[in-house]
Amino acid sequence: MGDLIRQLGDIRVSNLAQDFGTRAESVELLFAVAMMLGGIILTYLVQRWADRAGEVQSAANVGRGGGPRTHEDRGLRE
């Protein structure tokens, strides 16, 4: 484990301006947009998983109050 930590500590961060020249800002912008889209997709997938992992229908509130809905959906977001 110590070797892994030492290797991670030896990684040097390079300067984008030296690597890409005048295109550094464009590359940085593309990285930022890619990370934003990745975050949106990840959030969508987690929410979809949370909705599927909610209570099963037999354990949910069946609403015996005489309202129009006899079943009230419930997910993990409540």
Per-residue pLDDT at 74: 64
Per-residue pLDDT at 10: 76
Q: Which residue's entry shows tokens 């109050």?
A: 65
Q: What's the DSSP call for residue 70?
A: S
Dihedral of CA atoms 15, 21, 26, 30 in degrees, nearest 10, equals -50
Checking if the pLDDT of 22 tops 60, the result is yes
Query: CB neighbours (10 Å) of residue 39?
Result: 10
Q: Which residue has the higher pLDDT, 2 or 73?
A: 2
Give the pLDDT band (50/70/90) at residue 32: very high
Put simply, whether the predicted model's pTM sits higher than 0.85 gets the answer no
Per-residue pLDDT at 70: 56
Separation between Cα atoms, residue 7 and residue 75, nearest integer Å: 43
Domain range annotation of the chain: 15-52
* pLDDT tens, residue by residue, 49-63: 887 776 555 555 555
